[in-house]
Amino acid sequence: MELAPLPGFRDFFPEEVAKRDYIFEKWRQTARRYGFLPYDGPPLELTDLYRRKSGDELLGQLYCFTDKGDREVSLRPEMTPSLARMIANRGQSLPKPIKWFSIPQLFRYERQQRGRLREHYQFNCDILGAECVEADVELIALLIDCLRAFGLTASDFRVRINDRQLLASLVTALGIEGEDRHKIIFSAVDKLTRESPEKVRKQLGDSGFQPAVVDQVLELFKFKSLMDIASRFDSNAAVCERVMLLQRLFGLLEVIGLKDYVEFDSTIVRGLAYYTGIVFEAFDRKGKFRAISGGGRYDQLVNRVGRVDLPALGFGMGDVVLGEILSERDLWPARLTPSLDLFLVLVDETHLAPFLSLARRLRETGWSVDHALPPSAVAKQFKAASQRGARVALVMGPEEWKRESVKLKNLESREEIEVRVENIEESLRKMLQER
């Protein structure tokens, strides 16, 4: 029998679970600071939900099958469609704006590579029912503060921001009209950060665009600033309107002290077709990893899924790339596994019954308590206490027990005291508070 997990999947031993829990807790803390509420959904959905959301874009990457009820179903490859379905079902009765977050496990059958597996956990934050640019500012600020919570700084990452409506206006200004033709261009240009311009040029040519038109299109994605775009298209009202919106976004991010974390990047497109407005991606500055996070506006998705017209925006951040960056930057805490409050050391096995009763009594008080199984030499028990990261060792020896006492040893300061059994909780509380 094959003992390794399936390709692209992971086993989580205690040390990996500790890292995963650390990431999850930072995600939760940041989301709650911004007033976001947790939600969750089923890991299995009708395949048609993803077809409605992305057309056939994702269908080739789905873990899909026909269930026993003859339904075509799929393991969720992303959370946004489930969210859209839930909001379409009950969103009318919820106070707006809706600010929710989740940490689902997602599944995609795709080629494995660095930073991308066939399963991963993802931090999703979404705001629904807010059309204003201040909502985009709120979401980008949350993303930045989330990465800062792990010890990353402006020298470690940058959030690159663009606007698909601005791009659509620019492409239209070249005389290229039609949503379908725009989607072809956006899909091709989305690869500019990963593939050579020659490959992108060939893809656009194979899609029916003439070489001269392809040259004009690629020139659009060489703009380095919003001012350059405004100067070049100063007579185009649609372009100027979107430039002003982005300028307001960057101005507000500067006001709240996040200017050093963001920049305009005309090549940020976000390949999925459901994005409708401002889009963004977070990258590490060294360029060694895939995008850390990405998101944007998807104002039409809830309507497409459930005929409810509700503006929306969100982002996702996976645990795989983030974990790689934390390892590369040496940003994991020195100790990740939860420290043990108490390790009970039994000197004489004839006292096993009161020893086990004492362990239960202390656990019912709320402390984390462990002991050797089965009892072993005292030295081995102290070694086990150290390996478990116990803060205090409680030693039950025959002489002390005759005096109805035990010894408490602080394994950090090495302080040792003898206390009466009836006073253990009070003495432990004091010792555990002293750090």
Dump pLDDT digits (tens) for 401-411: 999 999 999 99
What pLDDT score was predicted for residue 113?
81
DSSP letters along 375-411, please?
---HHHHHHHHHHTT-SEEEEE-HHHHHTTEEEEEET
The two beta strands, 72-75 and 278-284, are unpaired
Which has more pLDDT, 90 or 357?
Answer: 357
What was the pLDDT predicted at 22?
97
Q: pLDDT at residue 2 above 90?
A: no
Q: Is 14 exposed, middle or buried (0-12, 13-18, 19+ CB in 10 A)?
A: exposed
Domain 14-328's class? alpha beta
Mean pLDDT throughout 374-382?
Answer: 94
pLDDT of res. 75:
96
- Whole-prediction pTM: 0.90
Residue 139 · residue 252 · CB < 8 Å: no
Instruction: Give CATH 3.30.930.10 domain extents, the chain.
Output: 14-328
pLDDT band at 335 (very low <50, low <70, confident <90, very high): confident
Range(s) of the chain covered by CATH 3.40.50.800: 342-433
Please give the Cα distance from 144 to 330 (Å, whole number). Answer: 19
The Cα 303–Cα 307 span in angstroms is 4
Residue 57 has pLDDT above 80, yes or no: no
Residue 139 · residue 149 · CB < 8 Å: no
What are 293's strand-pairing partners?
Answer: 282, 317
Asked if the model's pLDDT at residue 435 lies above 60, the reply is no
Q: How many CB atoms lie within 10 A of CB 79?
A: 23
pLDDT tens per residue, range 129-178: 999 999 999 999 999 999 999 999 999 999 999 999 999 999 999 999 88
Instruction: List pLDDT tens digits, range 295-326.
Output: 999 998 888 888 888 999 999 999 999 999 99
Rounded mean pLDDT of the chain? 92
Tell me which residue of 216, 244, 219, 220 sits closest to 230, measured CA to CA: 244
pLDDT at 287: 87
- CATH topology for the 342-433 domain: Rossmann fold (3.40.50)
At residue 261, φ and ψ (nearest 5 deg) are -100, -5
Mean pLDDT of 192-196: 77
pLDDT recorded at residue 110: 87
Confidence of residue 54 (pLDDT cuts 50, 70, 90): low
Specify the range with the lowest mean pLDDT, choosing from 87-91, 328-332, 398-402.
87-91
What does the pLDDT read at residue 53?
A: 67
CA-CA distances (angstroms) from residue 18 to 174, 216, 329, 336, 396?
Answer: 53, 51, 18, 6, 31
* Bond prior to 375 in cis (omega within 30° of 0): no
User: Cα(first)–Cα(last) distance of the chain, in Å?
Assistant: 49
**C-alpha closest to that of 102 among 121, 86, 77:** 121
Going 263 to 266 to 272 to 275, the CA torsion angle's sign is: positive
User: In which band, very low, low, confident or very high, does the pLDDT at 434 lie, cut at 50, 70 and 90?
Assistant: low
91 has pLDDT over 80: no
108 Cβ neighbours under 8 A, 6+ residues apart: 58, 61, 62, 63, 77, 118, 119
